[in-house]
């Protein structure tokens, strides 16, 4: 039997709260739809711990065939050199994911960033983020609605002759659940898709082995194109 490529998925930190279950316990979770998307195309997903210990990160990366930077809370402004305003994140998670990204790129292994992960990629390449689209780009339409949540969608356009343009040929809109977005593009990254109000919706690193980031959530809507993206990622991870 052919070995499934091992795909590490970065975890969300859920702070300790007075919840019904796991009362006052800090949780580390991955959304099941993300893991299922990797399973469905032949990968073996594993939840990665949040650690800033370099030896731990080295050991983790040594075991991985691919890295999936998942969605979640905001990237902390301190992680891209800006003062912490009204939108603090989790600096520990940022440092962990940025460390994993650096190591995976050095090993020439595939990386896929989704939503927050797309933003982490940009920060990892030296870029910055809009901390809040509504206040910093008031001409943009709403990109996150708590009421509509994953039903909120917007038009998208792709850079011709790119991987995403071929995978998503004919797709006219994507889901939208984010209030932050790429501001200054990181060095070594190129934009590959935009929303209809010109926010960057996808990036890639042409000089890397395989590094892509997308702002929407393909794992929530596994149509043929979304499934093809995960298939491409896992297959690439399996060739190393």
Distance (Å, whole) CA 34 – CA 37: 5
Distance (Å, whole) CA 157 – CA 19: 42
Residue of 96, 97, 115, 118 marked active site: 115
Paired tokens of 144: 């996150």
Paired tokens of 183: 């501001």
SS3 6: strand
- The verdict on whether 217 is a catalytic residue reads yes
- The verdict on whether 141 is a catalytic residue reads no
- The verdict on whether 140 is a catalytic residue reads no
Residue of 143, 154, 178, 217 marked active site: 217
Distance (Å, whole) CA 68 – CA 213: 10
132: which residues sit within 8 A by CB, 6+ positions away? 86, 87, 179, 180
DSSP label of 137: -
Could you give phi then psi for residue 199, rounded to 5 degrees? -85, 145
Question: For helices 32-40 and 224-238, what crossing angle results, to 10°?
Answer: 70
Residue of 97, 178, 201, 219 marked active site: 219
Q: Give the residue carrying structure tokens 């949780």.
A: 27
Instruction: List active site positions.
Output: 115, 217, 219
């Amino acid at each position: 039997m052919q070995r499934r490529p091992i795909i590490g998925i970065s975890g969300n930190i859920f702070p300790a709260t007075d919840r019904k279950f796991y009362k006052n316990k800090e949780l580390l979770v991955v959304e099941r739809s993300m893991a299922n998307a990797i399973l469905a195309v032949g990968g073996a997903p594993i939840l990665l711990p949040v650690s800033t210990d370099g030896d731990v990160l080295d050991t983790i990366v040594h075991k991985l065939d691919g890295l999936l930077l998942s969605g979640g809370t905001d990237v902390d402004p301190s992680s891209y050199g800006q003062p912490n305003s009204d939108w603090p994140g989790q600096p520990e998670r940022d440092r962990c994911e940025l460390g994993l990204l650096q190591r995976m790129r050095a090993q020439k292994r595939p990386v896929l960033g989704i939503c927050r992960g797309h933003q982490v990629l940009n920060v990892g390449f030296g870029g910055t983020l809009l901390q809040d689209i509504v206040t910093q780009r008031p001409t943009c339409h709403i990109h996150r609605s708590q009421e509509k949540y994953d039903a909120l969608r917007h038009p998208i356009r792709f850079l011709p002759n790119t991987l995403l343009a071929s995978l998503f040929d004919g797709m006219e809109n994507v889901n939208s659940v984010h209030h932050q977005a790429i501001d200054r593009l990181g060095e070594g990254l190129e934009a590959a898709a935009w929303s209809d109000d010109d926010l960057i919706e996808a990036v890639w690193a042409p000089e890397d082995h395989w590094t892509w980031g997308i702002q929407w959530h393909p794992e929530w809507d596994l149509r043929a194109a979304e499934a093809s993206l995960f298939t491409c990622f896992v297959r690439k991870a399996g060739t190393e």
